[in-house]
Amino acid sequence: MAARLPRGACSDRRGTMDYRFSDTQRQRVEAAFAFARGELAPHSDDWDREGHFPLKAIARAAAQGYLGLSASPAHGGLGLSALDESLVLEQLASGCGATAAFIALHNVAAWTVDRFADDALKAHWLSRLCAGEVLVAFALGEATPTPLRATRDDDGYRLDGLPGAVPAAAASDLLLVDAELEDAGPTLFLLPVAAEGVGFGAEEPRSGWRALPSRPLRIDSARVAAGQRLGAEGQATEALRRARERAHLALAAVAVGNAQAALGQVLRDPRHTGVPEPSPLTVDQVPEALAEPYAALIAGQQLVRLAAGQLDDDAPQAGLLCAAAKHYTDHHGPRLCRAALQLRASSGYLNDYALDRRARDSEMHTGVQGRDEHLRAAIARRLHASQALQAPPQAAASEAAAESEAPCAAP
């Protein structure tokens, strides 16, 4: 089993576009890749075929610290920066994109609890979330069929609405939800899945992420205690914005890792499957077929890292870049996977299940945490608000780095 990741809250090169890894970052990346290769990749096809949610593998991921990547060490997390978290998620996706997507959103939910819950709520849940004793589904969707409504009920609240399908919600213990509270505004809650009034429809057929249960969530007069509220009543606007930014970034990192693994498979790289394959493609077969999607993959990877660095610096353009990273990888991840499938077929492989699974999984990103039209609208709004075209992000990052007195200086 891979060595557990070291703790550490700081990236080594914040606020710049210099993404040479430090020794610590290389260690994290190598450990995450080893875990993905040993614990996820050998089983991912079976999980997909059987529609099996891999609880045992997720428990092993928790033992490595992967369910508390950005949560504070005081509550059992690793306290990683957004950049370092994205590096780990990218590697986990090389083993199984569906499992990595769940881990990514669990981490965003845990970070939200760490950042916005009161001390009592954190003490009750956060260490258990980081340890994997309790799993949380991220139900803060950009748009839902029927948004949740909350009404006061004695010393608690009643929630009603149809949030739609939330990845792995039916297999989780908690739901992180937002509801419009009467006479107050948006409010966040941790809602136990076992609460009376929380129900699920039938399993929905889908092409990808088959390892994650996908059943429409129904909330009908579900009661939640006041102590399960994150922050003050009606004051969740900032928390929602920041949580969604991190969700955009986390899923973009997963999309990059999944696409990169598809490229590795088509080049017959046994590291991504754990199984040696026949002779590799010849040099003449590779360049024209994969040059453009490979360039797009590298651009997406660097956009994810730029967005993560801006998020770590709390830069004004962080949200814009996180949305742009997800929009870009949502489009180009599937393109690379389809190109890899076509190239594999031209080499005589008419049924490569693992590569087909990666292509199907890549398509799922466009429907989770921001459909294309929502992301484009968000990018347009943030462009207008930040006047980003007049202030290149690298310039803003350099200014932030010059002004900061961060304890982790670049080597």
What is the tens place of the pLDDT at every residue in 214-265?
A: 888 999 999 999 999 999 999 999 999 999 999 999 999 999 999 999 988 8
Q: What is the pLDDT of residue 380?
A: 78
pLDDT tier for residue 406 given thresholds of 50, 70 and 90: very low
Bridge partners, residue 229, by sequence: 189
**For 355-386, how does the pLDDT look when each residue is reduced to its tens digit (9 = 90+)?**
999 999 999 988 676 566 667 777 777 776 76
DSSP 206: -
Q: Which residues of 221-259 are buried (b: 16+ CB within 10 A; e: fewer)?
A: ebbbbeebbbbebebbeebbebbbbbbbbbbbbbbbbbb
Asked whether 211 and 170 are in contact (CB, 8 A), the reply is: no
Answer whether residue 277 shows pLDDT above 70. Answer: no
The domain locations on the chain are 23-135, 137-230, 237-402
pLDDT digits (tens, 9 = 90+) for 2-19: 555 555 433 444 444 556
Can you give the pLDDT at residue 25? 94
pLDDT tens figures, 87-139: 999 999 999 999 999 999 999 999 999 999 999 999 999 999 999 999 999 99
Q: Could you list the beta-strand ranges (E) of 87-241.
A: 136-138, 146-153, 156-165, 174-181, 185-192, 198-200, 216-225, 229-230
Tokens of 291: 């040059």
> pLDDT at residue 314 above 90?
yes
Q: What's the Cα-to-Cα distance from 127 to each of 78, 100, 113, 324, 330, rounded to whole Å?
A: 11, 20, 11, 32, 32
Angle value at C-alpha 377, between 373 and 380, nearest 5 degrees: 140
Q: What percent of the chain has pLDDT over 90?
A: 60
Tens digit of each residue's pLDDT (9 = 90 or more) over 20-63: 789 999 999 999 999 999 999 999 999 999 999 999 999 999 99
In the chain, count of helices (H) and strands (E)? 12, 8
Tell the CATH topology of 137-230.
Butyryl-CoA Dehydrogenase, subunit A; domain 2 (2.40.110)
Q: How far is CA 62 from CA 95, 111, 131, in A?
A: 16, 15, 5
- According to DSSP, residue 369 is labeled S
DSSP code string of 113-144:
HHHHS-HHHHHHHHHHHHHTSS-EEE---SS-
The reported pLDDT for the residue numbered 410 is 33
Quick check: 275 pLDDT over 70? Answer: no
More confidently predicted of 368 and 320 = 320
Angle ∠(33,252,409) on CA atoms, nearest 5? 70
Model pLDDT, residue 274: 44
- Is domain 237-402 annotated with CATH 1.20.140.10? yes
pLDDT at site 270: 42
Q: Six-digit token pair at 232?
A: 């003050």
φ, ψ of residue 365 to 5 degrees: the values are -65, -30
More confident residue, 351 or 105: 105
187, 193, 195, 196 alpha-carbon torsion, rounded to 10°: 110
Q: Which of 8-17, 142-151, 320-329 has maximum average pLDDT? A: 320-329
Q: How far apart are CA 15 and CA 38, in angstroms?
A: 34
**Per-residue pLDDT at 388:** 52
For residues 155 and 226, is the Cβ–Cβ distance under 8 A?
yes
Please tell me the predicted confidence (pLDDT) of residue 79.
97
What pLDDT shows up at residue 324? 92
| Contact status, residue 179 vs residue 187, Cβ threshold 8 Å | yes
What's domain 23-135's architecture? Orthogonal Bundle (1.10)
Quote the DSSP letter at residue 197.
T
Question: Residues of the chain with pLDDT > 70: what percent?
Answer: 79
